[in-house]
Amino acid sequence: MRDNAGLYAALRSGRQVVPLFIFDKQILDKLDDSQDSRVQFIHHELMAMRKELKELGSDLEVRYGNPEAIWEQLLVDYDIEGVFTNRDYEPYARKRDEQIEKLLASNKIVFQSFKDQVIFECADVVKDNGEPYVVYTPFSKKWLELYKPEMSEPFESQKYFDQFAAFHAKSLPPTLKEMGFESFDFEYPSREIDKKVIKAYSEKRNFPAQPGTSRLSMHLRFGTVSIRHLTKIAQETSKSWLNELIWRNFYQVIIWYFPDRIENAFKPAYDQIEWLNDEQHFKAWCNGKTGYPIVDAGMRELNETGFMHNRVRMITASFLSKHLLVDWRWGEAYFAKKLIDFELASNNGGWQWAASTGCDAAPYFRVFNPTLQTEKFDPDLKYVKRWVPEYGTSKYPEPIVEHKMARQRAIDTYKAGLEKRK
Rounded Cα–Cα distance for residues 343 and 221 (Å) = 7
Co-location of 147 and 81 in the same domain: no
Q: Which of 247, 285, 330, 353 is catalytic?
A: 247
pLDDT band at 57 (very low <50, low <70, confident <90, very high): very high
Report pLDDT for 361: 84
**Residue 166 counted as domain residue:** no
CATH code of the domain covering residue 410: 1.10.579.10
Q: Is 68 a catalytic residue?
A: no
86 has a pLDDT exceeding 70: yes
421 has a pLDDT exceeding 80: no
Kindly state the percentage of the chain with pLDDT values over 90. 98
Rounded Cα–Cα distance for residues 27 and 246 (Å) = 27
Report pLDDT for 347: 98
Cβ atoms of 348 and 91 closer than 8 Å? no
Mean pLDDT value of segment 8-19:
96
pLDDT digits (tens, 9 = 90+) for 136-164: 999 999 999 999 999 999 999 999 999 99
Q: Which of 241, 328, 330, 353 is catalytic?
A: 328
Co-location of 77 and 218 in the same domain: no
Co-location of 147 and 274 in the same domain: no
**Residue 180 counted as domain residue:** no
Co-location of 224 and 368 in the same domain: no
E strand or H helix at 111: strand 110-114
420 has a pLDDT exceeding 90: no
pLDDT digits (tens, 9 = 90+) for 23-50: 999 999 999 999 999 999 999 999 999 9
273 has a pLDDT exceeding 80: yes
Mean pLDDT value of segment 331-352:
97
Q: Is 275 a catalytic residue?
A: yes
Co-location of 283 and 388 in the same domain: yes
Write the CB contacts of 197 (distance below 8 Å, at least 6 apart in sequence). Answer: 204, 211, 212, 213, 214
Q: Which of 241, 256, 351, 387 is catalytic?
A: 351
Report pLDDT for 422: 60
**Residue 362 counted as domain residue:** yes
The number of folded domains in the chain is: 3
Q: Which of 244, 301, 332, 343 is catalytic?
A: 244
Q: 82-86 and 110-114: which strand pairing? A: parallel
Co-location of 143 and 47 in the same domain: no
Co-location of 100 and 130 in the same domain: no
305 has a pLDDT exceeding 90: yes
Co-location of 319 and 296 in the same domain: yes
Q: Is 247 a catalytic residue?
A: yes
**Boundary of a domain, candidates 92, 115, 138:** 115
**Boundary of a domain, candidates 115, 137, 165:** 115
**Residue 403 counted as domain residue:** yes
Q: Is 285 a catalytic residue?
A: no
Mean pLDDT value of segment 278-289:
98
Mean pLDDT value of segment 404-409:
98
Residues spanned by the domain of 106: 1-115
Report pLDDT for 323: 98
**Residue 312 counted as domain residue:** yes
Mean confidence (pLDDT) of the chain: 96
Burial of 313 (0-12, 13-18, 19+ CB in 10 A): buried
Q: Is 307 helix (H, G, I), strand (E, B) or coil?
A: coil
Mean pLDDT value of segment 115-129:
96
Rounded Cα–Cα distance for residues 337 and 344 (Å) = 11
Report pLDDT for 71: 98
Co-location of 265 and 412 in the same domain: yes
Co-location of 126 and 273 in the same domain: no
Write the CB contacts of 245 (distance below 8 Å, at least 6 apart in sequence). Answer: 119, 227, 230, 231, 234
**Residue 334 counted as domain residue:** yes
Mean pLDDT value of segment 239-258:
97
Write b or e for each residue in 76-97: b if 16 or more Cβ atoms lie within 10 A of its Cβ, otherwise e: eeeeeeebbbebbbbeeeeebb
**Residue 34 counted as domain residue:** yes
Indicate the residue type of 399. P
Q: Is 404 helix (H, G, I), strand (E, B) or coil?
A: helix
In terms of phi and psi (left: phi > 0; alpha: psi -120 to 50; beta: otherwise), the region of 57 is: left
Nearest CA among 44, 52, 57, 49 for reference residue 20: 49
Co-location of 266 and 395 in the same domain: yes
Give pTM, 2 decimals.
0.95
Q: Is 330 a catalytic residue?
A: no
Mean pLDDT value of segment 204-233:
97
Beta-bridged to residue 61, according to DSSP, are 20
**Residue 179 counted as domain residue:** no
Co-location of 276 and 220 in the same domain: no
